[in-house]
Amino acid sequence: MRGLRNAAALAAAAVAVTGALTSSPASAGAAPEKPGARPAVSASATTLVFDKNRSAPLKSKLSVYKGGKLLYTYRAGSGVGSTDDCASGRGWMPNGTWRIQLKSRKYNGKKIKGYAVWLQDMPCSKGTTKRKEMFIHSEMKRDGNQAGRRGLESQRWDGDRDYASNGCVKLSPPAIRNLFRHLDRLGWPTHLRVVS
C-alpha cells in the first residue's frame, strides 16, 4: 500500500511540476489566477523528479515523466547519508524546484567530469546555507569513459559506495548516459523537482 501511495505522490508531483513549468510565458507577469484555477498542462512536457529516500539517502530515485506518465527511474544518491540539507558538502539536496543551468557530456570541472547537469544555487530548508555547485553527475573522465584501476577514484565507478556525493544527485555511469539519451529524444526539462 505504501508503494502505491508513494507512486501516486510522485505522479502528482510530476503533474504539478509539469503544470508549473509549462504555463504560458504570457501568464508569468499577469495578475494572480483565481483560487483553485490550474495552469495549462502540456501533455508532452518532460519532467525530472528526484525522490529522496529518508531511510537510505544513497538509494533514492531519479525519475523521468512525460506528460505526467512515469517512463524511467534510476537509482541515485545525494550526500553521504545525512538528511540535513543545510550541511554543505555532505547533506542531501534540499527539496524544491531547481532550474537546470547547463547540461554537458564533456563537463570539465575540478571535481566533476563528463556527463553533468549543472543546477542553480538554492538555499537549504532553514535558509542558513546556500547550496552551490549542485549537479546531477556520475564518476567518469571528461570524455565520459572510466579511469583505469590506477586512475583517479573520482573518475572511476567502483560500486554502491560511489552513490555518495557532496550533496549532488549522483547516478552510475550507465544510468546517466541512459538519462541523457532519453532526454535528448524526449526533450529536456527546464527544472529538476526534488521531493522527499
Q: Give the pLDDT confidence of 43-77 residue by residue, as tens digits.
A: 689 999 999 999 999 999 999 999 999 999 999 99
Provide the residue ranges of all domains of the chain, joining segments of one domain with +. Answer: 2-25+41-195
Q: Quick check: helix, strand or coil at residue 154? A: helix
Q: What is the 3-state secondary structure (H, E, C) of 43-83?
A: CCCEEEEEECCCCCHHHEEEEEEECCEEEEEEEEEECCCEC
Biggest CA pair distance of the chain: 61
Compute CA distances 5 → 96, 151, 188, 194, whole Å: 20, 44, 27, 17
Joined together, the cell numbers standing for residue 126 give 532553514
**pTM as predicted:** 0.78
Please name the fold of domain 2-25+41-195: L,D-transpeptidase catalytic domain-like (2.40.440)
Active site residues: 137, 168
Over 90: is that where the pLDDT of 90 sits?
A: yes
What is the distance between the alpha carbons of residues 33 and 9, in angstroms, rounded to a whole number? 24
